[in-house]
């Protein structure tokens, strides 16, 4: 199409006819540039003719100008035509866009309508489920309320029973305690011959071991820190004695106590227990209590040299132990030993307390002992026993012996198996 238009314009230029005028539509005025070109051409023709040589160059220039003017006019027309086509295309596209928008709007409306229908169904279902949930919740709350009511009734019944049990337990515990207070006397021996023991008492029963010594020493220190004026009582029900070193440890604790430490023998005190009784600041015993003194015992194993060394060591221990006893008795150590074997070939010198008081093994014989510290029923067991013999459970291995210690015991029933 473009090629055909160019050929037509060229033919018109050859005939001397303006293509703008030829192609211009009857109802459309000629472009302004084409009119100017035509006027210029007429003016040029009206001018006087110049010489042929000069006219030739100027003619070429004029033709070239005319040609360029025509090309410009042609280009302008073509641009206008293309612009008109573009505008028509834009108008068509706008129309299509409007149609598409209306189509989409219609589809969206249909979707909304369908969605509203679905939402209506969903809301109806939801409301139905909500109603069912509310009913179920109400039923559950009613069941929970009934359960809580039952639980409250049971809890009230249990509380009443527990209250009764606690009241009974408190009453039983209250019955286990005496309505009295311990009695503290600077001189525990009253005028009527009764010995009054306070709660500042320490039990010494069973074999004397290192554990026993620690048990007694700790309590002597405790009672001193609590009060260093009222006497402390070491009460021996029955003890066969035991370790010499452990017994000496107890004696040193008694000597170092600011508060007086008194020993009370109720049944039997032998060997180291008898020594503790005799060397106490003051000692008391029932008339029928037995006090037994003897030389220290030893078991020796080894060659003759070792035996002699051990013997010398035992003699030194006996000197340290027997000398203060003999001094209190008013005799020499040799006389003390001689009398032991005169009384019994084994050397076990045993006397009842009412006879032992004459030998100064015991300071006082008493007919009555008042235990003011026993404010709790003996039938009620305590979680912690105050007795030193708690370290030796029945049917178990005995305590571990320290160096130089040797345990002599009579065990016909096999209550204490051989230790590790």
The pLDDT tens digits of the residues spanning 314-325 come to 899 899 999 999
Q: Reply yes or no on whether the pLDDT at 289 is more than 80.
A: yes
Q: Is residue 293 helix, strand or coil?
A: strand
pLDDT band at 6 (very low <50, low <70, confident <90, very high): very low
Whole-angstrom distance, CA of residue 26 vs CA of residue 86: 24
Write the DSSP string, 222-281: HHHHH-SSS-EEEEEEEE--B-HHHHHHHHHHHHT-SS-EEEEEEEEEETHHHHHHHTSS
The pLDDT tens digits of the residues spanning 185-209 come to 999 999 998 999 999 999 999 999 9
Asked if 239 and 266 touch (Cβ cutoff 8 Å), the reply is no
| β partners of residue 270 | 292
| Averaged pLDDT, 226-250 | 94
Q: Reply yes or no on whether the pLDDT at 231 is more than 60.
A: yes
Q: Which of 48-57, 102-111, 357-366 bottoms out in mean pLDDT, i.e. has the lowest?
A: 48-57
| Averaged pLDDT, 54-69 | 82
Q: Reply yes or no on whether the pLDDT at 251 is more than 90.
A: yes
Q: Which of 289-303, 331-345, 388-402 bottoms out in mean pLDDT, i.e. has the lowest?
A: 388-402
Can you give the C-alpha Rg of the chain in angstroms?
67
At residue 233, what are phi and psi to the nearest 5 degrees?
Answer: -115, 125
Residues 6 or more apart whose CB falls under 8 angstroms from that of 226 comprise none
| Averaged pLDDT, 357-373 | 94
Residues 6 or more apart whose CB falls under 8 angstroms from that of 417 comprise 397
Q: Reply yes or no on whether the pLDDT at 125 is more than 70.
A: yes
pLDDT band at 403 (very low <50, low <70, confident <90, very high): low
Q: Reply yes or no on whether the pLDDT at 144 is more than 50.
A: yes
For 18, left (φ over 0), alpha (ψ -120 to 50), or beta?
Answer: beta
Asked if 318 and 295 touch (Cβ cutoff 8 Å), the reply is yes
Q: Which of 27-31, 39-43, 304-308 bottoms out in mean pLDDT, i.e. has the lowest?
A: 27-31
Domain at 194-391: CATH architecture: Alpha-Beta Complex (3.90)
Higher-pLDDT residue of 39 and 192 is 192
Instruction: Provide the token pair at 241.
Output: 């004695």
> Number of C-alpha atoms within 13 angstroms, CB side, residue 343?
14
Q: Reply yes or no on whether the pLDDT at 358 is more than 90.
A: yes
The pLDDT tens digits of the residues spanning 205-223 come to 999 999 999 999 999 999 9
Whole-angstrom distance, CA of residue 179 vs CA of residue 48: 164
Q: Which of 17-31, 135-149, 214-228, 306-320 bottoms out in mean pLDDT, i.e. has the lowest?
A: 17-31
**What rounded mean pLDDT belongs to the chain?**
82
Q: To the nearest whole percent, how much of the chain has pLDDT over 70?
A: 75
> Number of C-alpha atoms within 13 angstroms, CB side, residue 30?
15
At residue 215, what are phi and psi to the nearest 5 degrees?
Answer: -60, -50
**Domain coordinates in residue numbering, the chain:** 2-106, 194-391
């Amino acid at each position: 199409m473009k090629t055909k238009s160019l050929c037509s314009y060229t033919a018109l230029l050859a005939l001397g006819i303006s293509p703008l005028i030829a192609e211009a539509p009857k109802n459309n005025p000629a472009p302004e540039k084409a009119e100017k070109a035509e006027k210029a051409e007429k003016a040029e023709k009206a001018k006087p003719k110049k010489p042929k040589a000069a006219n030739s160059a100027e003619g070429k220039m004029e033709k070239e100008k005319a040609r360029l003017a025509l090309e410009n006019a042609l280009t302008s027309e073509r641009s206008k035509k293309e612009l008109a086509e573009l505008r028509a295309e834009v108008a068509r596209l706008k129309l299509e866009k409007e149609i598409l928008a209306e189509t989409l709007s219609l589809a969206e409306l249909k979707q909304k309508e369908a969605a509203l229908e679905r939402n209506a169904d969903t809301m109806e279902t939801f409301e139905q489920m909500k109603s069912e949930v509310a009913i179920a919740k109400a039923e559950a709350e009613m069941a929970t309320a009934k359960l809580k009511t039952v639980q409250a009734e049971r809890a009230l019944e249990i509380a009443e029973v527990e209250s009764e049990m606690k009241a009974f337990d408190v009453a039983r515990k209250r019955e286990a305690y005496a309505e009295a207070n311990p009695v503290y006397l600077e001189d525990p021996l009253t005028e009527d011959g009764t010995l009054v023991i306070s709660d500042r008492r320490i039990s010494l029963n069973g074999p004397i071991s290192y554990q026993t010594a620690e048990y007694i020493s700790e309590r002597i220190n405790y009672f001193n820190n609590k009060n260093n004026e009222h006497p402390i009582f070491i009460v021996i029900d029955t003890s066969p004695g035991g370790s010499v070193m452990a017994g000496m440890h107890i004696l040193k604790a008694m000597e170092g106590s600011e508060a007086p430490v008194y020993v009370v023998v109720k049944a039997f005190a032998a060997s180291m227990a008898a020594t503790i009784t005799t060397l106490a600041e003051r000692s008391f015993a029932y008339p029928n209590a037995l006090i037994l003194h003897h030389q220290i015992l030893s078991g020796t194993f080894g060659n003759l040299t070792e035996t002699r060394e051990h013997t010398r060591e035992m003699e030194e221990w006996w000197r340290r132990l027997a000398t203060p006893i003999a001094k209190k008795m008013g005799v020499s150590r040799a006389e003390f030993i001689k009398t032991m074997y005169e009384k019994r070939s084994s050397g076990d010198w045993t006397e009842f307390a009412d006879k032992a008081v004459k030998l100064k093994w015991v300071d006082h014989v008493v007919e009555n002992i008042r235990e003011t510290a026993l404010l709790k029923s003996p039938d009620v067991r305590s979680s912690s026993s105050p007795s030193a013999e708690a370290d030796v459970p029945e049917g178990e291995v005995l305590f571990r012996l320290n160096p130089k210690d040797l345990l002599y015991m009579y065990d016909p029933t096999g209550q204490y198996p051989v230790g590790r």
